[in-house]
């Protein structure tokens, strides 16, 4: 006979398994909202669509949920620790100060949760001092592309991804397949150089941030993955500079703006000559960054596109300065980008090292460029030969 398991030891050992955190909500007997925090939420079956959570048999909220026969799982974001604490206490004041809206079936859906899954109770299985409640999914969505709250060894934390890739929107599928090859190489580069590494590509008339690796500088969040900006000068020069048709289309997209601060052809010439593209910090770039953060995820509205275009038009000398190595000039270099070629010498994406230290000397920048170029060459060698896959219009053209 084996030794009985000490409950404290059981808790301690099982605490080494990290979980996400969800608030399972429902409506009480008099219609008011009820909810409880769970770490035991799991996806069970795709066909039929089933999920489960394991409430303790003592839980009052669980008893209410089982009477109602329906529940809504709210996957909590990293910023929702207070909500998790509120739903983990007993009592009737768990929703105080929390904003929520009804789900399609009228159950409480917490604002700003990462995802919500509405279910009817399909089965309840007895499991020691807990139940296994199986829910059949009736509707679900993940409206907020933010990082989840985690629970590990009795404490809250957040997910620190090695890299993140954009969600598989229809026109990105082929690009994401290519960027998957790049991600381990990007992670390696980001970790070794303690910078953020980005992969972006030209998709239709946009430049799309496909994946990031490493920690963003300056406390930015990771939510920029999937972000789209109009691919017009001076953005994304390294994506067009190796193809005359791509360059011409890029310049034509810019149109004739009186406010333009640069000559696009000159930008292309400098990038071709250097082999890489550079952006330095400027107020215009900061303004663009701060105004585009959330609005540009999952595509631009016509209004958003016009507003962003105006900001891009105001960018100027911070892109591709030609006197980078002039000892009398001091630039605060923000990012450097290099093209990634496929086996047919077409530019399929660009890799960028972003958030260089403000005091990076020119020699340091050269080193980043060397490492970045080396990473881009590794990605090129690892890419599959997508000969016939030119069904994706790869914007960069040929070398
Ligand atoms: C991170 C975390 C995860 C939890 N996971 C579960 C769980 O999976 N099942 C459960 O019964 N209780 C879990 N709890 C505890 C319940 O939230 C808590 O006991 C319950 O909400 C008490 O209120 P009630 O009696 O109204 O249900 C968890 C608590 C925290 C903080």
Taking the CA atoms of residue 155, residue 157, residue 161 and residue 167 in that order, the dihedral angle to the nearest 10 degrees is: 120
d(CA 254, CA 232): 5
C-alpha 90 – ligand 1 centre gap (Å): 9
pLDDT confidence band for 46 (50 / 70 / 90): very high
DSSP 23: E
Mean pLDDT, residues 323-351 taken together:
85
Q: What is the pLDDT of residues 243-252, one digit of tens each?
A: 999 999 999 9
pLDDT confidence band for 259 (50 / 70 / 90): low
Q: Where are the domains of the chain?
A: 7-158, 163-391
- Residue 111, both tokens: 């604002």
- Residue 312, both tokens: 């891009």
What is the layout of strands, in order, in the sheet containing 50-53? Answer: 33-38, 22-27, 70-75, 115-127, 130-141, 50-53, 42-45
Residue 319 is predicted with a pLDDT of 81
Taking the CA atoms of residue 372, residue 360, residue 279 and residue 192 in that order, the dihedral angle to the nearest 10 degrees is: 30
pLDDT at 240 over 70: yes
CATH number of 163-391: 3.30.450.40
C-alpha 88 – ligand 1 centre gap (Å): 5
Which CATH fold topology does 7-158 show? Pnp Oxidase; Chain A (2.30.110)
H or E segment at 121? strand 115-127
Q: What is the pLDDT of residues 174-223, one digit of tens each?
A: 888 888 899 999 999 999 888 889 999 999 888 988 888 887 655 454 45
The answer to whether 80 touches 115, Cβ cutoff 8 Å, is: no
d(CA 12, CA 32): 36
Most confident among 113-122, 252-261, 325-334, 387-396 (mean pLDDT) = 113-122
Nearest CA to ligand 1 atom 6: 38
d(CA 127, CA 265): 69
Which residues share a beta bridge with 158? 149
Task: Give the DSSP per-residue string, 197-227.
Answer: EEEEEEETTEEEEEEEESPPGGG--STTTTB
Unique residue bearing structure tokens 């070794």: 192
Binding-site residues, ligand 1, Cβ < 6 A = 21, 36-40, 54-56, 59-62, 84, 87-88, 90, 151
Nearest CA to ligand 1 atom 18: 88
pLDDT confidence band for 316 (50 / 70 / 90): confident
Residue 176 is predicted with a pLDDT of 84
Fold match between domain 7-158 and domain 163-391: no
């Amino acid at each position: 006979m084996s030794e009985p398991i000490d409950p404290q030891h059981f808790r301690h050992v099982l605490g080494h398994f990290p979980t996400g955190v969800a608030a399972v909500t429902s409506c009480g007997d008099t219609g008011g909202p009820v909810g409880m925090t769970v770490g035991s939420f799991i996806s069970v079956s795709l066909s039929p669509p089933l999920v489960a959570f394991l409430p303790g048999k003592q839980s009052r909220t669980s008893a209410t949920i089982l009477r109602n026969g329906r529940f809504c799982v709210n996957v909590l974001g990293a910023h929702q620790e207070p909500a998790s604490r509120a739903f983990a206490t007993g009592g009737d004041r768990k929703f105080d100060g929390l904003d929520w809206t009804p789900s399609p079936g009228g159950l409480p859906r917490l604002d700003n949760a990462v995802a919500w899954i509405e279910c009817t109770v399909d089965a309840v299985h007895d499991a020691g001092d807990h139940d296994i409640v199986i829910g059949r999914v009736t509707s679900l969505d993940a409206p907020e592309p933010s990082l989840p709250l985690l629970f590990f060894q009795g404490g809250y934390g957040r997910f620190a991804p090695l890299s993140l890739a954009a969600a598989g929107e229809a026109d990105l599928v082929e690009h994401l397949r290519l960027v998957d090859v790049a991600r381990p190489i990007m992670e390696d580069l980001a970790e070794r150089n303690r910078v953020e590494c980005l992969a972006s590509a030209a998709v239709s008339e946009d430049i799309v941030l496909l994946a990031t690796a490493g920690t963003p500088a300056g406390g930015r969040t990771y939510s920029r993955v999937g972000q789209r900006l109009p691919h017009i000068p001076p953005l994304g020069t390294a994506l067009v500079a190796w193809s005359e048709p791509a360059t011409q289309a890029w310049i034509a997209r810019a149109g004739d703006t009186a406010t333009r601060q640069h000559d696009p052809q000159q930008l292309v010439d400098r990038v071709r000559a250097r082999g890489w593209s550079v952006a330095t910090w400027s107020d215009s770039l900061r303004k663009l960054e701060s105004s585009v953060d959330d609005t540009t995820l999952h595509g631009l509205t016509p209004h958003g596109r016009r507003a962003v275009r105006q900001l891009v038009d105001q960018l100027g000398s911070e892109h591709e300065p030609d006197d980078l190595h002039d000892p009398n000039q001091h630039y605060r270099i923000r990012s450097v980008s290099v093209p990634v070629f496929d086996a047919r010498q077409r530019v399929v994406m660009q890799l960028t090292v972003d958030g260089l230290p403000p005091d990076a000397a020119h020699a340091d920048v050269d080193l980043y460029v060397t490492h970045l170029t080396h990473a881009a060459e590794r990605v090129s060698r690892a890419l599959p030969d997508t000969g016939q896959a030119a069904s994706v219009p790869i914007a960069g053209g040929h070398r």
